[in-house]
Amino acid sequence: MSTDPEYWFPAKSRGWGWGPPAVWQGRAVLAVFAVCVLAGAIELLPTHGPFVFVGYTAFLCLVLMGICWLKGEPPGRNRRPR
């Protein structure tokens, strides 16, 4: 057995952040994120306007970044030395 943790989101090879999901759990998180944004667009935009939708979407982005931070590879780990 490997002692390395299984990351849902690998670190980007260039820059800072995470790349596309590496396992099904990461793909499920992105699918739920997309469904929540779409549901917000359908429900919030017509009734509450764009400002509420932008706030809702920003909140969802923060939640997604938190999940990436917790379940993703530490950013900058794959950086190549110059």
Would you give per-residue pLDDT tens digits along the chain (82 residues)?
565 678 999 988 887 888 899 999 999 999 999 999 999 999 999 999 999 999 999 999 999 999 999 999 887 655 555 4
Q: Map residue 74 onto helix, strand or coil.
A: coil
Distance of CA 46 to the CA centre of its chain: 26
Rounded Cα–Cα distance for residues 37 and 53 (Å): 9
